[in-house]
Amino acid sequence: MAKAKQSSLSPQDIDHLRAELAAGRPPAVWFTSAAVGVEAGRSGKVMAFSEPAEGDFIQVRPTGEKDDLSFSPGELTLEKPAPRKRTPAAAPAAKPEAPAPVEHIYTPAPAPAPPKPKPAPAPAAPAERRPAARKQAKPAEVTVTLTSTADGEWTVDVQWGAKRTLKAAPVPASAVSQAAKLLPAEVDEAVESVLSAARERHLARVEQLRAELEAAQRALDELTG
């Protein structure tokens, strides 16, 4: 009977695997006969998804391995293969009956034939090519975004692959200024323009508060004089 072909991952299967991984439960998958470099029927754990979702974008760690390898949906399945049936041992062959005795008649031995020349050794067969090793999974891209407010306050966001690891974390303006000086001139110029405008607004506010404080001090002196 022909062996049933295992179905590869469907879009619904991939959504299920993403949900399991997002919940902190690396899901199990099995390799199909289309998988390159891995035996069909072997299991593994899904560790991550590369972006964009095309080609070999599913990162899987085969059982017993330490490295994550890249696979396409056609090389994986959620169907666990059936256990292999053991072939029953062959029954022992019937013991042959003892041959009947044969009467030997003496005949002179023939002359020995001349020795045959030894055949030349056959050339060694070329070594079987092993499947090419799969490429290691590419690290996810990291995007760092700095955002400023009108008051000169700064925050930072970090996007690691498809996951945001840091959102709107406050950053001192002095640290942003120092980092911008190590980057291209266009970055330093943009950051400095924001900081300069914020300084002018805060300076104007300080002058206003200083004038209000002096006026209040004079009023207090007149009341107590």
**Residue given tokens 């004079």 in the structure block:** 218
Q: Please provide the distance, in angstroms rounded to a whole number, between the alpha carbons at the two ends of the chain.
A: 113
Q: How many CA atoms within 13 Å lie on the side-chain side of 210?
A: 6
Contact 1, 82 (CB under 8 A): no
State the pTM of this model. 0.38
* Helices and strands in the chain, H and E counts: 3, 8
> Could you tell me the fold of the domain covering 11-77?
SH3 type barrels. (2.30.30)
Reported confidence tier of residue 207, pLDDT bands at 50, 70, 90? very high
Task: Indicate whether 105 pLDDT > 50.
Answer: no
pLDDT digits (tens, 9 = 90+) for 5-61: 668 899 999 999 999 999 999 999 999 988 888 998 899 999 999 988 888 899 999
State which H helix or E strand residue 207 sits in: helix 185-224
pLDDT digits (tens, 9 = 90+) for 166-203: 988 999 999 999 999 999 999 999 999 998 998 988 88
- Residue ranges, CATH 2.30.30, the chain: 11-77
State which H helix or E strand residue 158 sits in: strand 154-160
